[in-house]
Amino acid sequence: MSRFLNIYTITKFNFVPTGSTSVKLVRDGTATREVNELTCPTYYMDVRIPGDYPIGLYPIKIRMASTTLNPFKMVRLDTEEEDPDIAVSVEGTENGTELDGVTLSGMNFVPAGNPWNYRKAGEPWNFWYVKQLLNKPTTTDDEGKTVEDKSDIVYRIYFDDVRGLRASGNQASDIGLFLWIKYFGDAVAVTP
């Protein structure tokens, strides 16, 4: 009997999602959606998962925190597979919070004014949208065997701009979100 163990002793990869994009407005016929009887502009963001990301560290949780954008679907660009299953998690958004066994850092809130990352002092958001990639993609080799896919995969996440659903005095002046993926580095602010 043999047993194979994969041991990882890495605290942080240098896998900041390079090849990922800022948030961009959709500029075709699907540029808006109805949300609670209000027409909301649609935005998207691309997230690239490196092909050499270790299979032993799946599943990957893509976490997004925003008060101006609601994600409603994700599409894998090379296969056009669409997945509308994006969960909600009530967990800390403050630097120093432990999420999935890693200490959160990089969160940058603005204490005054009304930009997308505005937050009153002492009132954390404590709210994430979470998309989980359960398994590393596989492919078939020349001999018909299923093997680990080593190519980079780009996922496009679509968002509704929900600023118009807030009370007029409480609408942010712009849009944005915090993106955090375990082991990929600090949380990053993603804006247009």
pTM of the predicted model, to two decimals? 0.84
Residue 81 has pLDDT above 50, yes or no: yes
Task: Give, as one character, the DSSP assignment of residue 165.
Answer: G
pLDDT band at 15 (very low <50, low <70, confident <90, very high): very low
Q: What does the block give as tokens for 145?
A: 């065997």
pLDDT greater at residue 159 or residue 141: 159
**For the chain, what are the domain ranges?**
24-190
Stated as kind and residue range, the H or E segment containing 161 is strand 153-161
Predicted pLDDT at 6: 60
SS3 160: strand
Residue 171 has pLDDT above 60, yes or no: yes
Residue 13 has pLDDT above 70, yes or no: no
The pLDDT tens digits of the residues spanning 46-63 come to: 988 888 888 888 888 999
Q: What angle do CA 103, 43, 125 make, to 5 degrees?
A: 35
- For 122, residues 6+ apart whose C-beta sits below 8 A from its C-beta are none
Predicted pLDDT at 30: 65
Distance CA 190, CA 192 (A): 7
Mean pLDDT value across the chain: 84
Residue 14 has pLDDT above 50, yes or no: no
Rounded mean pLDDT of 118-144? 87
Cis peptide before 71 (omega within 30 of 0): no
Distance CA 114, CA 149 (A): 44
